[in-house]
Amino acid sequence: MATAKTTSGPGGSIAGAARDAILAGVVALGIFGPLVGLKTEQNMQNELVITTRWGLVAIIVGIVIAGRFLLTTTIWPAMTRNKLRDKPPATAGEVAFRARLARWFAPTGLVFLFIYPALMVYFLGFQGSLKWVDNFGIQILIYVMLGWGLNIVVGLAGLLDLGYVAFYAVGAYSYALLATHFGLSFWLLLPMAGILAAMWGIMLGFPVLRLRGDYLAIVTLAFGEIIRLVLINFRELTNGSAGISSIPKITFFGIYSFDVSAPNNFAKVWGLAMSSAYYKIFLYYLILLLALLTAFVTLRLRKLPVGRAWEALREDEIACRSLGINTTNTKLTAFALGAMFGGFAGSFFAARQGFVSPESFTFMESAVIVAIVVLGGMGSMIGVALAAVAMIGGTELLRELDFLKAVFGEGFDPDQFRMLIFGLAMVLVMIWKPRGFVSAREPTVFLTERKSISSSLVKEGHG
Amino acid sequence: MEIFLQQLINGITLGSIYGLIAIGYTMVFGIIGMVNFAHGDVFMVSAFIAMIFFLLFTTVLGVSSVIMALIAVMIIAMVLTGLLNWAIERVAYRPLRGSFRLAPLISAIGMSIVLSNFIQVAQGPRNKPLPPVLSGTITLMERNNFAATISYKQILIWVVTAVLLAGFWYVVQKTPLGRAQRACEQDRKMAALLGVNVDRTISLTFVMGAALAAVAGTLYLTYYGVVNFSDGFTPGVKAFTAAVLGGIGSLPGAVLGGLLIGLIETFWSGYFSIDYKDVAAFSILAIVLIFMPQGLLGRPEVEKV
Amino acid sequence: MSSVLSSEQTPRPWTADPVLTVEHVQMRFGGLVAVNDLSFEVGRGDITALIGPNGAGKTTVFNCITGFYKPTQGMLLLKHAAGDTFLLERMPDFRISAKAKVARTFQNIRLFSGMTLLENLLVAQHNRLMLASGMTILGVLGMPSYKRAEKESIETAKFWLDKTGLTARADDPAGDLPYGAQRRLEIARAMCTGPELLCLDEPAAGLNPRESAELNTLLLDIRQMGKTSILLIEHDMSVVMEISDHVVVLEYGVKISDGTPSEVRNDPRVIAAYLGVDDEEVEKVEEQLDELTEGATP
């Protein structure tokens, strides 16, 4: 991409761009030719045979050539022109508008989140709302909560934790095991799962937090993998890869149950038609409140000495030590708190699914959560929430692409492109906005005027 | 003794593959300070390229000599994987160079998802088994019905790894390209001021890393005879572990780390429990890093106040 | 030797009640001895300057005092005005700042560049605020006691912003400040920890003459307040000679001179170290000086 600017930048000749595009085509042919053009399939004798798809390769290469040509001749020059042109300074009206937008965005979003299930039920009925409340609402909110929890560690304290899913797993298995074996209630186990996850956070954090930079990242990744592997192999306790099923549902604070057979079933008590929608809506509000608790605590902490110390740690650890801050303890609190929220989310996840297995806690899961934090803009609560909506909601929406079957024929399965598009989106968003959606930092305290801090000054930490 | 010998042979074989992949991690980290998470999937793609061309040569073109076919396949895989990694660097990493430190990492994670899912879509989710090749073995020791053997495949893997590492070592130590790489590692800006083409050097680093991963991919395919679109992650993480264990940024460290991880894994499976072999590898990584953060052969990081 | 002898004839007030006593400190990195058998005192309420050519080991001494390095040998004794004593070589770095009340600045400025000036100064009061927030718990619950403590901290921050002339920029990020202002902010931040001893690593480096003069005023001001003693590394001789009460000179990790600014200025070994004279010539100059002094004092 950078070469385009140097070899055939804005004024570059059409011939140059054409040569460039042909070159891109050759590269594409080299890569996609064998991998797409020669499809290996097993025949009846279980032997691999090759079928060719040269037409498809020609289409892909054609798209690459055309795309590259367009980029070098039209899109990049236009982008460069835009950049070079002096932007007129924002008028007072624009500034006021932006300030209003910033002020109103969070409350409006909050109101929307609270009426969302009602809207869905109103428009789609109880059964129709199921998918939108469960697959979209609950699923996204779980990731918002995980993103906010990890944001404490990565976004505020600047410690790159690639094994966050371990704490999510600790929370999920704590609830699953204690609820199935001892029949304890969710409301007792929720705080317990959080505390257990926090304790694991401290236990794992203590030896590794003096590591710097990418070493911390790789050790946390290793711990995440170790916990998953132990869950797979410690069959006596965890039932291995088969996982734990029939995990009890959450009760409505012990007053109503959502079990169909229970005498105090919510629908029965109120004489409503049986539907799983009540439980889903209840779960929606529960995870919404849990996520908001995470947000509330984080926002409070940011304005407290410990939160400022986290951010200072992200900016310059040595300076922190010279000011008498116990950096180990400060890091540990960030790690433990992040782990605790991960644990809460985990126990909610186990209760919602009714089933947990190590499959749900792979490295990919950690990577997605880290991606949400970075895409959102490190440290920004709204940014993280937006990133979770875009990434998780977006991929869930991709499940709705069945109409494409009409275009590409019945054999076409849009679902398999879901993760491919997810990955591409991650790459593209990073190139488009390397500092994430909301990159400016809001100061925690001010003397006369609150001014946002440009992301170019904010450091990303070296952990 | 037989078990020991057998595990030693298996461990060195596995370790050679890890070492070859680890070099790609360590070189990229050394030169641009980035953890190239997609490298494991690049390795997986190379194994697919090797599988496709091996099939093409043996079944379609009717090449009868397995050795000739393997050599040709390896060279093709090296070239095409190099091309792939070159393109990845161009598209996904270069625009992010010099920006926010985590951005290339996330981009690489995205690329890793793209690669494995692309292969799943293009080649299907099922395992791709090859007919067995080079299936002979040599018995080294035998007692109580247990024989320590070394297979032709293992000999092939050792020889290829040794030859390629020697050639690679020569390139890095003795050629202008290697000098440019080491200069960029020390100070990219200064190297550019002295006339080193930094972009090209970085591109070539990615190409070299991918070529070695392609060797590993071909050997992996020959050794196990099967490949799947999800095979990138675990060897990738283990190779990265190897790179960190050996001291990230150090080339001999990557090879040493790879061998150690391979040996730990096989000995653990041989003497203790096969279930926990990965736990053992990761635990040792964590322990080494906690007590020796610079790895075995890495330069200690000096905290400059 | 003669230089030491000659300086011993004058009174050495900093030995009476030193805030910091450095005794026989050695710092070795592998085979390299960066500081060897170094002893000196920092007088309470004084401005003490540590000078020497590049690579003399000055910053190493600072790093030993502030705990970033642990000296291979020797003792660093810090004594508060209230009488508490601390052996710095036995304390981890953050405790040296938190308990022994030694604050420092860095040669290559280390500010929290993405935080505002005010935030920088509040981070410096971390430990006090942490206690006030009941180790965070009371703070999360929004207790008024914490609010009060925070208000006091903001007042302290304001005081130092005023002193350093940065009040107008209190809500700007530290990274946006010009170089000279960043140096001043770093001093303000160190002062916000309420130190007994303030260690400044080349505070005048890169300052223009006007800024340098302002720095002198600031440091004299701090001394006048009486609570904080200052130890500084400096190359700018105008700063050293104008404001310091006591100068210690290092060369190759060894102390070569120790006295008042005027004594040090006239010490032939210091002149030699700075101008690069052979050892033989130093001896010659010393002999001449000895003759002169003998001739002058019958």
For A2, nearest residue in chain B (alpha carbons): B95
For C59, nearest residue in chain B (alpha carbons): B305
- Inspect the interface and report whether the beta carbons of B283 and A226 lie closer than 8 Å: yes
- Contacting chains of C (3 CB pairs or more, <8 Å) are A, B
Q: What is the mean pLDDT of residues C242-270?
A: 86
pLDDT at A240: 81
Q: Residue A371 is encoded by which pair of tokens?
A: 């991606």
Q: Which residues of B touch C106 (CB under 8 A)?
A: 305
Given a cut of 90, whether residue B270 has pLDDT beyond it is no
pLDDT at A193: 92
Q: Which residues of A touch B60 (CB under 8 A)?
A: 50
Given a cut of 80, whether residue C295 has pLDDT beyond it is no
Cα B295 from Cα B275, distance rounded (Å): 26
Phi and psi at residue C202, in whole multiples of 5°? 50, 60
pLDDT at A218: 79
Cα A126 from Cα A328, distance rounded (Å): 50
Cα B106 from Cα B117, distance rounded (Å): 17
Closest CA of chain A from B124, distance in Å: 8
pLDDT at A7: 42
State the pairing for strand pair C254-259/C246-251: antiparallel
Q: What is the mean pLDDT of residues B239-263?
A: 88
Q: Residue A376 is encoded by which pair of tokens?
A: 């959102």
Identity (one letter) of the amino acid at C250? L
pLDDT band at residue B36 using 50, 70 and 90 as cut-offs: confident
Closest CA of chain A from B156, distance in Å: 24
Tell the residue number behind the tokens 């080494």, with chain if given. B288
Cα A206 from Cα A331, distance rounded (Å): 9
Residue A45 near residue B59 (C-beta atoms within 8 A): no
| Helix pair angle (B66-88, A14-32), 10° resolution | 140
Q: Which residues of C touch A459 (CB under 8 A)?
A: 113-114
Q: Is the dihedral of CA B76, B80, B82, B85 positive or negative?
A: negative
Across A147-227, the runs of DSSP E, i.e. the strands, are none
- Inspect the interface and report whether the beta carbons of B303 and C59 lie closer than 8 Å: no
Closest CA of chain B from A419, distance in Å: 6
Q: Which of B107, B230, B288, B302 to mutate to test the interface with A (most CBs of A within 10 A)?
A: B107
Among A39, A50, A420, the residue with its CB nearest the CB of B118 is A420
CB pairs under 8 A between A and B: 192
Cα B231 from Cα B225, distance rounded (Å): 13
Cα A335 from Cα A152, distance rounded (Å): 8
DSSP H/E element including B152: helix B152-174
- Inspect the interface and report whether the beta carbons of A305 and C95 lie closer than 8 Å: no
| Domain range list for chain A | 2-84, 101-398
Asked if the C-beta of B60 comes within 8 angstroms of chain A's C-beta atoms, the answer is: yes
Contacts of C296 (CB under 8 A, 6+ apart): none
pLDDT at A6: 42
Nearest to C130 by CA among B55, B182, A306: A306
Q: Which residues of A touch C160 (CB under 8 A)?
A: none
Q: Which of B100, B227, B237 to mutate to test the interface with A (most CBs of A within 10 A)?
A: B100
> Any idea what the Cα angle at residue B34 is, between residues B248 and A218, rounded to 5°?
60
Among B110, B117, B285, the residue with its CB nearest the CB of A222 is B285
CB pairs under 8 A between B and C: 5
Facing residues of C4 across strands? none
Tell the residue number behind the tokens 């991919």, with chain if given. B217
Asked if the C-beta of C68 comes within 8 angstroms of chain B's C-beta atoms, the answer is: yes
Q: What is the mean pLDDT of residues B15-22?
A: 92
Cα A174 from Cα A247, distance rounded (Å): 11
Q: Residue A77 is encoded by which pair of tokens?
A: 């020059």
Cα C78 from Cα C85, distance rounded (Å): 6
Contacts of A399 (CB under 8 A, 6+ apart): A135, A414, A415, A418
For each of chain A's 463 residues, which pLDDT tens digit applies? 344 444 444 445 788 888 888 889 998 998 898 888 888 888 777 777 888 888 888 888 999 898 888 888 888 777 777 776 666 666 677 777 777 777 788 888 888 888 887 787 778 777 777 778 788 889 999 999 999 999 999 989 888 888 999 999 999 999 999 988 887 888 888 999 999 999 999 988 888 777 766 678 878 888 898 999 899 988 888 888 888 887 887 877 777 777 777 777 777 777 677 677 778 888 899 999 999 999 999 998 888 889 999 999 999 989 999 999 998 889 999 999 999 999 999 999 998 888 899 988 988 889 889 989 988 887 788 899 999 998 888 888 877 776 666 666 666 677 778 888 888 988 988 888 888 888 788 888 888 777 777 777 777 765 5
Cα C66 from Cα C175, distance rounded (Å): 25
Q: Which of B206, B279, B301, B303 to mutate to test the interface with A (most CBs of A within 10 A)?
A: B279
Residue pLDDT, tens place only, C176-220? 889 989 999 999 999 999 899 999 998 888 888 888 888 888 989
- Inspect the interface and report whether the beta carbons of C106 and B305 lie closer than 8 Å: yes
Question: Helix, strand, or coil here: B273?
Answer: coil
Residue C229 near residue C46 (C-beta atoms within 8 A): yes
Q: What is the mean pLDDT of residues B155-164?
A: 89
- Inspect the interface and report whether the beta carbons of B103 and A215 lie closer than 8 Å: no
Residue pLDDT, tens place only, C225-239? 878 899 999 887 777
Residue A394 near residue A425 (C-beta atoms within 8 A): yes
Complex confidence, ipTM: 0.87
Fold of the domain built from segment(s) C2-101+195-296 = Rossmann fold (3.40.50)
- Contacting chains of B (3 CB pairs or more, <8 Å) are A, C
Q: Residue C85 is encoded by which pair of tokens?
A: 């004593």
Cα B215 from Cα B295, distance rounded (Å): 25
For A301, nearest residue in chain C (alpha carbons): C140
Cα B276 from Cα B269, distance rounded (Å): 8
- Contacting chains of A (3 CB pairs or more, <8 Å) are B, C
pLDDT at B304: 62
Contacts of B73 (CB under 8 A, 6+ apart): B50, B53, B54, B57, B218
Among A38, A212, A427, the residue with its CB nearest the CB of B92 is A427
pLDDT at B218: 92
- Inspect the interface and report whether the beta carbons of C114 and A457 lie closer than 8 Å: yes
| Domain range list for chain B | 2-291
Asked if the C-beta of A293 comes within 8 angstroms of chain C's C-beta atoms, the answer is: no
Rg for chain C, CA atoms, rounded:
21
The CATH architecture annotation of domain B2-291 reads: Orthogonal Bundle (1.10)
Given a cut of 60, whether residue C141 has pLDDT beyond it is yes
Residue A423 near residue B111 (C-beta atoms within 8 A): yes
- Inspect the interface and report whether the beta carbons of A444 and C119 lie closer than 8 Å: yes
Q: Which residues of A touch C94 (CB under 8 A)?
A: 320-321, 323-327
For A413, nearest residue in chain B (alpha carbons): B121
Q: Which of A209, A323, A460 to mutate to test the interface with C (most CBs of C within 10 A)?
A: A323
- Inspect the interface and report whether the beta carbons of B99 and A435 lie closer than 8 Å: yes
Given a cut of 50, whether residue B249 has pLDDT beyond it is yes
Q: Chain centroid to CA A10: how far?
A: 37
Nearest to C268 by CA among C254, C252, C257: C257
Among A324, A333, A453, the residue with its CB nearest the CB of C193 is A324
Among B49, B79, B107, the residue with its CB nearest the CB of A35 is B49
Cα A319 from Cα A322, distance rounded (Å): 5
Residue pLDDT, tens place only, B40-98? 999 999 999 999 998 888 887 877 788 888 889 999 999 999 999 999 999 899 888 87
- Inspect the interface and report whether the beta carbons of A445 and C95 lie closer than 8 Å: no
| Domain range list for chain C | 2-101+195-296, 112-193
Closest CA of chain A from B118, distance in Å: 6
- C window 97-116, beta carbon within 8 A of B: 106
Q: Which of C113, C125, C126 to mutate to test the interface with A (most CBs of A within 10 A)?
A: C126
Q: Which residues of C touch A320 (CB under 8 A)?
A: 94, 123
For A321, nearest residue in chain C (alpha carbons): C94
